[in-house]
Structures are given as structure tokens and as C-alpha cells.
Amino acid sequence: AGAALLTVILFTLYIFHGIRRNIQLNKELVLAKQRAEDLASVKEEFLANMSHEIRTPLNAIIGYSERLSQTELDKKQGEFISAVQKSSDLLLATVNDILDFSKIEAGKLRIDAIPFEPAAVVREVVDTLQLHAEKKHLALQYDTSSIDDLFVTGDPIRLKQILINLTGNGVKFTDSGFVKIICTRVDDGENIVLKYQVADTGMGIEQDKQDLIFDAFSQADASATRRFSGTGLGLAICKKLVELQNGSINVESQPEEGSVFTVVIPYLPANEERVTYVKQVAGKPNVEQIKDKHILLVDDDEYNIQLTRM
């Protein structure tokens, strides 16, 4: 009986010890969670501040060097300013990639749902990169014939970002031939589904690297990338942006023959009234309409105010 009593006492003590330990661990867990949440919000705040602190002076550097390049310069000065422009453009692209990636990681990136014309976005992408392609003697083409005049509800800015990234890569990794954007409808009965294909005749990607390139910071060929520059974030951002829109992205490629990146995104139809409105306000601003008008510009950066005034 004594031994049994002793066992019961020991067992009870053991249980109490277990409960105390459990409570203690729970407390530590709550504290650790709080700390992690605090750190995450500090990181987000830091990135938001950095975004402003880096982009504001960069904006001034890019703006003023553009103005400077339009003044009369001798050959050497022209070369110097061109180097400043190229370097600051590259820096801006890198900063934008890092900030976008962090924003997506923090779950802070929202996808818009507004009426827009996908074919117009494709045309804008081609306009943006045309000069870049011409410099490399590449043909930059597009085919939107099956979606011309179609309006859908979705996010035009993010679509443009994805297509600029893929098409920009196409131009970057192609030395001769063409880069082409083809857009077709592949509806699934419920949604309007659009398929965007970006094809190039460039260096291609080895089979075993094709999944890897969608991971952050990864590049298929380190030596090629040193030649071409880049952060390895572009495709990771594209993948996240496509997934946030319930879509998919993949690549088919043969080394030395070229690559085809395919993005599929489902959309809701666009409301007719909204489309009419968007069509009315779209287009280039009419300079005559804003001539002699006063504009109030609010900015905390003196240089950027001066730049806008110019």
C-alpha cells in the first residue's frame, strides 16, 4: 500500500510538473510569435521606407540626366551622361524587382479587378521594348488578332509587368531572329481565359534548368547572366503575379533554338457600361485641354518638384 501511495504521489507530481512546463512553453510560444510578428512588421516598414528613400533620389538622377542629355554636350560629355543613364536605369530595375518581391512575400500586393483591353496592353509592351529590340536587330512582333476589341475584368498593370519581363528576357537572351507575343482565347466555359505566349529564337534553356528558373535569385547559366546582367528575380515575380491571378506559367525550350513562355490567366467578363466609360477616358491626354490650366503638385522632394516643373 505504501509503495502504491508513493507511486500515486510521484505520478501526481510528474503530471503537475508536465502541466507547469506546458504552461511555460505556451507562454514562450506566444512571446516568440509576438516577436516574429513585430519583426515582420519592422521589415515591412523598413522596406516601405527604403522604397521611398531609394526611388526618390533615383527618380531625380534619371530625370536630371535625361534633361542634361537634351542639352548641348560634346562627345565625351554625351558618353558620360549615357553611362549615368544606363546605370541608373539598371539600378532602378533592380530596386523595383527587390521591392516587388518583398511586397509579394509579405502578402501586401493586391491584384486589381478593373475593365481593360488585353490587346492594348500587348501593344504597349511592344511599344516599350521596340527600341531595345531594334538595337539588337531583332524583330519584335505580336499577334492579338483573336482578342482585338475584347475587354475583360482584371489587372492590366500586373499583366504588363509580366509581359514586359518575359519579352524583355526574350530580347535579352536572343542574339538573332525574333521575339513574338501571341495572345489567344482558351475559355473554360466558366471564365474568359487568355493564353499569352512569348516566343524567342534565342539561346534557350537546358531541360534540367527549366523548373529552377522560376525560383527567386536563380539563373540558368551564371556565365551568360554575367554577360547579360540581372537579379534572377524577374521570373519568380512573374510566377507569383500569375498565381495571384489564379493563372499558370510554364516554359518550353530547346538550347540554341529558343524558348516559349506560356502564361494562362482567367478573367471575368467586363461590364458593358464600364467598358464604354473606359473607352471614353482612354487615349492620350489632349494637350489643348490642359493648356493654361494650373496644376497643384505636392511633393516633399525639392528636386522632383523642379523636375516636374521643367
Interface residue list for ligand ADP (CB under 6 A): 169-170, 173, 200, 202-205, 213, 219-221, 224-225, 230-236, 259
Nearest residue (CB) to ligand ADP, 63 versus 232: 232
Residue among 245 and 259 whose Cβ is closer to ligand ADP: 259
Strand duo 178-185 + 139-143: pairing? parallel
Q: Nearest residue by C-beta to ligand ADP? A: 230
Q: CB-based contacts of 218: which residues, under 8 Å, 6+ apart?
A: 212, 232, 236
The CA distances from residue 278 to 270, 282, 285, 298, in Å, are 11, 6, 14, 27
CB of 206 to ligand ADP, least distance (A): 9
Q: How far is the CB of 62 from ligand ADP (least distance, A)?
A: 20
- Measured from the CB atom, the residue of 182 and 236 that comes closer to ligand ADP is 236
* Nearer to ligand ADP among residue 45 and residue 215 (C-beta): 215
- Which grid cell is 168? 524583355
User: Cβ of residue 228: shortest distance to ligand ADP, in angstroms?
Assistant: 7
Q: How far is the CB of 150 from ligand ADP (least distance, A)?
A: 27
CB of 239 to ligand ADP, least distance (A): 9
Length of the chain: 310
- Report the distance separating Cα 268 and Cα 155, nearest Å: 11
| Amino acid, res. 103 | K
Can you state the percent helix, strand and coil of the chain, rounding each to 5? 60, 15, 25
The continuous run of DSSP H or E covering 119 comes out as: helix 118-135
Return the number of the residue (256 or 273) whose C-beta is nearest ligand ADP: 256
Four-point Cα dihedral 143, 148, 151, 157, nearest 10: 40
**Residue 233 vs 264, nearer CB to ligand ADP:** 233
- Work out how close the CB of 246 gets to ligand ADP at its nearest, in angstroms, rounded to a whole number: 21
